[in-house]
Amino acid sequence: MKIKLGIIGFGGMGKWHAENAPRAGVEITAVCDVDEQKRREAIGSGIRTYQSAEELLADYEVNTVILTVPNFLHKEMCLKAAKAKKNVIAEKPAAMSVKELDEMEEACKKAGVFFTVHQNRRWDKDMLIVKKAFDEQLLGNIFTIESKLHSGNGYMHEWHIYKKFGGGMLYDWGVHLIDQILFMMPEAKIKSVYADIKNILHEEVDDYFKILLKMDNGITVHIELSTYILEYQPRWLAAGDKGTLIVKDFGCEGSLLKTGKLLKRLPPRITETKAGPTRQFAPVPPGGIERKMLPKVETNWSDFYHNIAEVLDGKAEPLIKITEVRRVLLVMEAIWKSSESGEAIKFEEMNR
């Protein structure tokens, strides 16, 4: 089935889909936005434009819509689209709560239309490198994974700085970072969630968070985001009993580190360092650590839309399942609760 897409909301992500979805065989049929200037930008692309979602949803050629409106409007627009018998793709976060997501899913099921979420960061090469190391046990038994995203750009923009519109970094990038971890190890259960959420530069919404997830497979996950840390830390660090993997950034610079033979043969001895005498934390001698290239991965974001077309033809299962989206939102609710209480939350008892 050819996807004839209607884009509801023609801001940054709406324009991104208009430019990139056709590369996956999607036909951009129409867009709507309350802003006249944004509609004019779409007219220049030869696309039908509407001022309201109701007008777009009445367009009989549109068979699928993507919701690229501010977060707080996702539920409202999804219910309208389902009633109009359009397949629905929601930008992340799909909803502001688990309750909202359940209502959206129920409406789509009742209308007999397909519903999914654009979790595009599942195709990020940096994350897939770590996932490959996890899947293939390249580091042995992993005991910690750190996912960090830092920026020196400081202030956010547009509606993202307002709580009433669903702004803040947990709803913006947090949902991606959590989804990546759960996608990486789908069989692992979360035992507990601890979170610290801060407003550093923004009055209404969060721009820093630190999240600790204790998994039942023995891995402790550390997720940290800040819009105002000026010296960036590695994007990923994963450590196991057979090695360490570091991915520095989205460009996937980094190394897979293994213990060299020389280090294994070293006799224990005290070393004098700038910090005084130490044995365990003395500098590793030359040859003690072997530095290898990161594992290779192949990724293609267009598979997201190719998969939707196959799902609509009854040939495939969706790559982004609503059960997975729901689990992410459950974790986010536990994160808010932990940050408010200052205590770790036992998670599985929440996983209703």
Q: pLDDT tens across 196-211, in order? A: 999 999 999 999 999 9
List the strands of the sheet with 345-346, edge to edge: 289-292, 254-259, 243-247, 236-240, 142-150, 220-226, 208-215, 190-198, 345-346
- Return the pLDDT at 351: 60
- Residue 197, token pair as written in the block: 């959420």
Q: In this structure, which long-range contacts are made by residues 111-115, counting pairs with CB atoms below 8 Å and at least 24 apart in sequence?
A: 111/82, 111/83, 111/85, 112/85, 113/81, 113/82, 113/85, 113/86, 113/87, 113/88, 114/64, 114/87, 114/88, 114/308, 114/311, 114/312, 114/318, 115/78, 115/82, 115/87, 115/88, 115/90, 115/322
Q: For position 283, what pLDDT does the model report?
A: 76
CATH 3.40.50.720 maps onto the chain at 4-118
- Give the tens place of pLDDT for each residue, 308-351: 999 999 999 999 999 999 999 999 999 999 999 999 999 975 66
Distance CA 247, CA 256 (A): 9
What is the Cα–Cα distance from 37 to 166, expressed in whole angstroms?
A: 24
Judge whether residue 264 has pLDDT over 70. no
pLDDT of 275-285, one tens digit each? 777 767 777 77
The 10s digit of each residue's pLDDT in 50-92 is 999 999 999 999 999 999 999 999 999 999 999 999 999 999 9
Contact 166, 97 (CB under 8 A): no
What CATH architecture is 124-252+294-299+331-345? 2-Layer Sandwich (3.30)
- CATH fold of 4-118: Rossmann fold (3.40.50)
pLDDT, tens only, 15-49: 999 999 999 999 999 999 999 999 988 876 779 99
Residue 69: Cβ within 10 Å count: 26
Instruction: Report the pLDDT averaged over residues 133-158.
Output: 95
What is the pLDDT at residue 1?
A: 84
**Phi, psi (rounded to 5 degrees) for 14:** -60, -45
Predicted pLDDT at 46 = 74
CATH 3.30.360.10 boundaries in the chain: 124-252+294-299+331-345
